[in-house]
Amino acid sequence: MQPHLPTPVGSVLDAIGNTPVVRLRRVVPEGCADVFVKLEYYNPTGCYKDRMAKSMIEEAEQRGDLKPGMIVVEATGGSTGSSLALVCAVKGYEFLAASSNAFAVEKLRTMTAFGATLNITPSPSGKVTPDLIPSMVKYADEVAKQGTHYYTNQFYNCDAIVGYEGIGHELVEQLPGGIDVFCGSVGTAGMAMGVARVLRSKMPTARIVVLEPASAPLITQGVKGSHSVEGIGVGFIPPHLERHLYDEARAIEEDEARIMCRRLAREEGLLVGTSTGLNVVAAIQLARELGPGKRVVTVATDTGLKYLNGTLFKAD
């Protein structure tokens, strides 16, 4: 049977969303629940942040907060910045990204390829330290006070949730037999909370588990720390994280996540980044606990192509 082919769309922004779901076959041990992964790297920049970028810009346009000629600014590790740079390129806005050398060079180059201007906050260790992202946010906040800029402010902007709810609605349609557990790593927490809002309404028995790096267990233990998992573990409790919308928080070892990334590529044909590896490690933990006949769902946050210059996929 031939798959349904999407119809032509008016612009690349209309190609955001409607991503496929696959069941993992080889990395999940016998005797476990089924594990499904939503492949968000099918979005135009290879990341689910495209959903958030589109909704933040279009909701602001509809309210009149973002007007022609304004400059969009955001503090970003690169994935949100790449997505915003794409949306701004299509819509004709200039984009200023507050970022850092702690993030993958592929992401920095992607932003500039779409026409963004970068302001780099140095990280001497090359890691995401507890004060790095707050420093980037402070810069973006100061620039936004000039009045000529629109600060999308991903950590506080509820317009982001609008875009992420699309993942939840799609999962309900794609897995009509039900979802027992959904798990996802937390950066801004927008994705996890957007999906949780939908599942709480459409599949209220589904458990929601949020994830973070074990070396920076702020949600699980109240302890800050450094790590190298881009896009998550931001050094503060994200304002979008609503306690009534999740059932459990887990801390996952970064080394296990990196090993899982390599396994996913070699055994499942899925080339993904470290936060996705972390998601899958947690999903398999949950699948072991649940046992056969149940379903655990997570997301492939972004494509591993963004990390080929780093150590993630270097030969063992």
Catalytic residue among 38, 49, 54, 107: 49
Give just the sign of the alpha carbon dihedral 41, 46, 52, 54: negative
CA distance 123 to 119: 13
Catalytic residue among 83, 99, 100, 275: 275
Q: Residue 243: how many CB atoms within 10 A of its CB?
A: 9
Closest to 77 in 3D by CA, of 222, 235, 259: 235
Please name the residue ranges forming H helices in the chain.
49-63, 79-91, 105-113, 132-144, 159-174, 190-202, 218-221, 254-263, 274-290
Active site residue 306: no
Closest to 225 in 3D by CA, of 131, 124, 137, 123: 131
CA distance 289 to 148: 52
Q: Residue 197: how many CB atoms within 10 A of its CB?
A: 17
Contact 76, 116 (CB under 8 A): no
CA distance 99 to 178: 39
Active site residue 79: no
CA distance 95 to 80: 12
Task: Tell me the catalytic residues.
Answer: 49, 275
